[in-house]
Amino acid sequence: MQNVIGIGELLWDVLPEGKKLGGAPCNFVYHANQQGAKAKMLSAIGSDNLGIEILELLKQKSISFDLIQVNDNPTSTVDISLNAQGIPTYSIHEEVAWDYIRFNDLISKQIKEADIVCFGSLAQRNDVSRQSLEQILNCCSPGTLIVFDINLRQSYYSLEIIEQSLQQCNVLKMNEEELPILCELLNLSSQGDEAQISELINAYDLKLVAYTRGAENSILMTPRERSELPTPKVEVKDTIGAGDSFTASMILGFARGRELKEIHKKAVEVSAFVCTTDGAMPKYITGLKI
């Protein structure tokens, strides 16, 4: 069983029908657990009622919270609106608890035992959490799969954050909106998506890159292999958490030594299933585990 840690934002997604537990790293942890891993969330909440509710819900979902800190900042909420296709738009509030994650001895010990660590760019918007994340990643063991699920949100990223994150990771996940931004920021010289992905693999010594293109298709690439699959046509309720479920399924299949095409097929299947459900954390149906 793989030890997995998701690092970063932990929050309430506030939708028209009410609030739901969210944050890309938390969604990732939930799906890693569903795939048979021992996954934990590393984040921070406030000492308010919203924070207490999060701990209660994490317990219900069997998500460990011994790496979740409590501080004096408010528990995070994100206002979400959905368009006709179920695609979300996010309004992310600032100066919240996960902006102030602090490195400590417990984190240092547990991160050394992790087989897989996943982080993004959003939780690095504040210098406190960003510096903590750098310390955390520096504690990873040599064989750890470190996933940078880039998740660019609003203006909460910079060239410095992107470059440092790419230098610290060995697996990259991005979508069709994020790759052009990376190309511009990093001055990539290659033409065409796959050539640009290959350039990223070579420049940052990446073991695996996942590139998703919404309703069209997705590509997985390693230094030696490539897999491309169309996105299944399903009745979409919303796409919240679909990318996170893709990432969790993909990296666990990769960690378990599955064939690239098998890994890809399962990740696509899981993310399509999530799109047909309400919210990011549905209960799995039979046959979804990698």
pLDDT digits (tens, 9 = 90+) for 233-278: 998 888 888 999 999 999 999 999 999 999 999 999 999 999 999 8
Shortest CA distance to 70 belongs to which of 82, 54, 93?
A: 54
Tokens found for residue 22: 């969210």
Structure confidence at residue 245 (pLDDT): 96
Domain spanning 3-275, CATH architecture = 3-Layer(aba) Sandwich (3.40)
Please report which residue ranges of 3-75 form alpha helices under DSSP H: 24-34, 49-60
The DSSP output letter for 72 is S
- DSSP class of 240: T
Q: Which residues contact 33 (CB under 8 A, 6 or more apart)?
A: 39, 61, 62, 63
Q: Extract the tokens encoding 74.
A: 């408010």
- Select from 201, 221, 225, 202 the least CA-distant residue to 211: 221
Across the chain, which distance is largest between two alpha carbons, in Å? 50
Given a cut of 70, the residues of the chain with pLDDT beneath it are none
In this prediction, residue 25 carries a pLDDT of 96
Measured between alpha carbons, how far is residue 102 from residues 41, 42, 106, 160, 252 in Å? 14, 10, 11, 21, 27
Give the angle 274-50-92 at the CA atoms, nearest 5°.
Answer: 60
d(C-alpha 132, C-alpha 53), whole Å: 25
Euclidean distance between CA atoms 124 and 144, whole angstroms: 21
Contact present, 118 and 247 (Cβ < 8 Å): yes
Closest by Cα among 135, 143, 93 to 7 = 135
Question: What pLDDT shows up at residue 174?
Answer: 96
Q: Which of 49, 48, 44 is nearest to 66 (CA)?
A: 44
Considering only CA atoms, which of 286, 238, 262, 280 is closest in space to residue 29?
Answer: 280
Dist. CA 211–CA 150, nearest whole Å: 11
For strand 116-119 and strand 145-149, is the pairing parallel, antiparallel, or unpaired? Answer: parallel
Token pair 């940052």 is at which residue? 204
Beta-carbon count within 10 A of 190 CB: 14
Among the listed residues 31, 176, 13, 218, the one whose alpha carbon sits nearest the alpha carbon of residue 118 = 31
**Total-model pTM:** 0.94
Q: How far is CA 248 from the centre of its chain?
A: 8
